[in-house]
Amino acid sequence: MSVFRKVIAPQLTRVTIPPMANDFITLLKITSLASVTSLRELMTNTQAAVSSSFRFAEWYGAAAIYYLILVSIFMLGQSWLERRYVWTSQARGPRSLIRAIGR
């Protein structure tokens, strides 16, 4: 029936957003560990650039800024989502997400 859609899903989403978003951001940060394998990601490329130019501060600094920007974007998304699930009559933004789940 519509019990899951109308009753359980909204309440369940509310409690799962914070831990899921946290885990997601953690996952993003530890992608840097993939540089010890042969996978070419941000950290691998940074280390390659460092080893060819010997400009440690510049390259690692640039990498740090990239990580900061990426994580900040996801954090904004997280806080937006969390705010959408505060059930008060005042702070109501667009309800599109709840509707998307509701359909």
Is residue 6 near other proteins by the rule CB under 8 A? yes
Cα–Cα nearest to 81, from 66, 103, 96: 96
What is the x/- site pattern for other proteins, positions 62-91, by CB under 8 A? Answer: -----------------------x-xxx--
Give ∠ CA 84-87-89 in degrees, rounded to 5: 105
> Of the ranges 8-16, 17-25, 27-35, 41-49, which one interacts with other proteins (CB under 8 A)?
8-16
Q: Is 79 helix (H, G, I), strand (E, B) or coil?
A: helix
* Two structure tokens written together for 30: 């530890």
**Contacting residues toward other proteins, per CB under 8 A:** 1-2, 6-7, 10-11, 14, 85, 87-89
